[in-house]
Amino acid sequence: MAAGRVKSGKRPVSTLRVAESPAAYARRPRIVADATVLAAAAFGEDEQSEAVALLRGRALAAPHLVDYEMTNVALMKMRRGRLDQRAVAASLDAFNGLAIERHGIDLAAVLALAQRYKLTAYDAAYLWLADRLEAPLATFDASLARAAQVHLAGGAGERG
């Protein structure tokens, strides 16, 4: 019987179709990368090779504030004479070339995490997002890493 034909008063028979991405586009494991990791990768910092290796093959996620943080990193590098404007522009282009899912945050939940773990609101936003997405959090920041270890491993009793 051909798809869409009616048989003895019943509804038309439909053909099930499934569309799948080619293997090259298969879902990559997601990771929330904070500005310390992204800056290391984009600005050629000492930790660049470690950061690039970690990010390669991953679907990157960050709160929307990541763009402001990376712009601030660029500004600080210029002000401190570590990079000239041309090098900063190239680094920002490299950052802009990264496919990063940018997410809004829950302000009250971020505030609660910042208070609980004595973090900045910026760092707490990355922690909140990692928790929300159930994804690992990558950072070179020791305080944020400690908070993430406790919070993300703590189960529902730790989460707010």
Mean pLDDT of 132-152: 96
Count of domains observed in the chain: 1
Task: Specify the CATH number for the domain of residue 35.
Answer: 3.40.50.1010
Q: How far apart are CA 84 and CA 23, in angstroms?
A: 41
For residues 114 and 121, what is the distance between their CA atoms, to the nearest angstrom? 6
Domain that holds residue 38: 28-157
What gap in Å lies between CA 46 and CA 126, rounded to an integer?
A: 22
Res. 20 pLDDT band, cuts 50 70 90: low
* Residue 112, domain member (yes or no): yes
The 10s digit of each residue's pLDDT in 22-47 is: 554 457 899 999 999 999 999 999 99
> Looking at the whole model, is its pTM more than 0.95?
no
Other C-beta atoms within 10 Å of 11: how many? 7
| Mean pLDDT of the residues in the chain | 88
Question: Quick check: is 146 in a domain?
Answer: yes
Supply 73's token pair.
């990193």
Is 119 domain-assigned? yes
Does the CA dihedral 94-97-101-104 come out positive or negative? positive
* Cα separation, 30 vs 134, whole angstroms: 9
Say yes or no to pLDDT of 19 above 90. Answer: no
